[in-house]
Amino acid sequence: MEYKRITSIDDPNFRKMHKLMGQIFPPEEVLEYELWREPLEDPGIRVFVALDGDEVVGATEYRYYQDWNIAMTDFTIIGLQGMGIGRFLAVNRMKDLNALAEQNGKELYGMFAEIYDPYRVENYEFGGVKVMDPYVRREVLSHLGYKRIDIEYVHPSWENNGEAVTGLDLGFMPSDDSQEEIEASLVADFLTTYYTVLPNKPPEWLGMIDRLRKKDRVALLPL
């Protein structure tokens, strides 16, 4: 497999990736095609596909925030089972992020991720791909070192309709696995920056941010 970066919606591999996203994720989790143009041109947003020949069999999007020395995994897509795609993406993503942190003169502090909670919402199909099953993904992320940030988490719908999306946790994978708390201001600042692209914020999300602003630290709990 080849780990290849996409920086334009005009890249033929982007169309293949976006189609794969639509097959795997629910509609409110998928940014519409044309709205990808600016994000892909942003050097801080890193979108890579796993290519098997000319077929996109997996993809991951993530970003590194130099000022905070943290990363965010936006998504990981595994299109086929039995090929080691998840491991391939995770290893190459971490190599890339460690290199970015090293260029910044630091060791990566940690990485955020939104994590589906199938114990609350049971109707996620994810295109029928069993390796994308939310029970499997949650346990894999736990194995990788992700912990649940102790907040009632919602996020604005990517359909930009002002609705709150529930049924997920906000996770954080600290580089130091013994870390049991995270700075509340970092979480609030990160989320505010991350969702700048969506102007229609639901009141539930605004309330969550306000509560974070009033705290010092937030616990990191097991997934």
Question: Do residues 179 and 218 lie in contact, with contact meaning Cβ atoms separated by under 8 Å?
Answer: no
Query: What local confidence, expressed as pLDDT, does residue 122 receive?
Result: 60
Query: What local confidence, expressed as pLDDT, does residue 160 receive?
Result: 84
Task: Please tell me the pTM assigned to this model.
Answer: 0.85
Structure-block tokens of residue 168:
């997920």
CATH number, residue 130: 3.40.630.30
Task: Give the contacts of 3 (CB within 8 A, at least 6 positions apart).
Answer: 48, 49, 50, 51, 88, 89, 92
Q: Give the span between the Cα atoms of 127 and 54, in whole angstroms.
A: 21
Query: What local confidence, expressed as pLDDT, does residue 125 receive?
Result: 54
- Per residue in 16-39, pLDDT (tens digit) is 999 998 888 877 778 888 989 998
* 164-165 vs 55-65, strand pairing mode: unpaired
Q: What is the DSSP letter of 68?
A: T
- If one counts the domains in the chain, the total is 1
Tens of pLDDT along the chain (223 residues) come to: 999 999 999 999 999 999 998 888 877 778 888 989 998 998 889 999 999 999 999 999 999 999 999 999 988 899 888 899 999 999 999 999 999 999 999 999 999 999 988 777 666 555 555 666 777 788 889 999 999 999 999 999 888 889 999 989 999 999 999 999 999 999 999 999 999 988 999 999 999 999 999 999 999 999 8
Query: What local confidence, expressed as pLDDT, does residue 44 receive?
Result: 86
Domain carrying residue 127:
2-221
- Per residue in 191-216, pLDDT (tens digit) is 999 999 889 999 999 999 999 999 99
C-alpha 111: how far from chain center: 9
Task: Give the contacts of 83 (CB within 8 A, at least 6 positions apart).
Answer: 1, 52, 57
Specify the DSSP element, H or E, that contains 37. helix 37-41
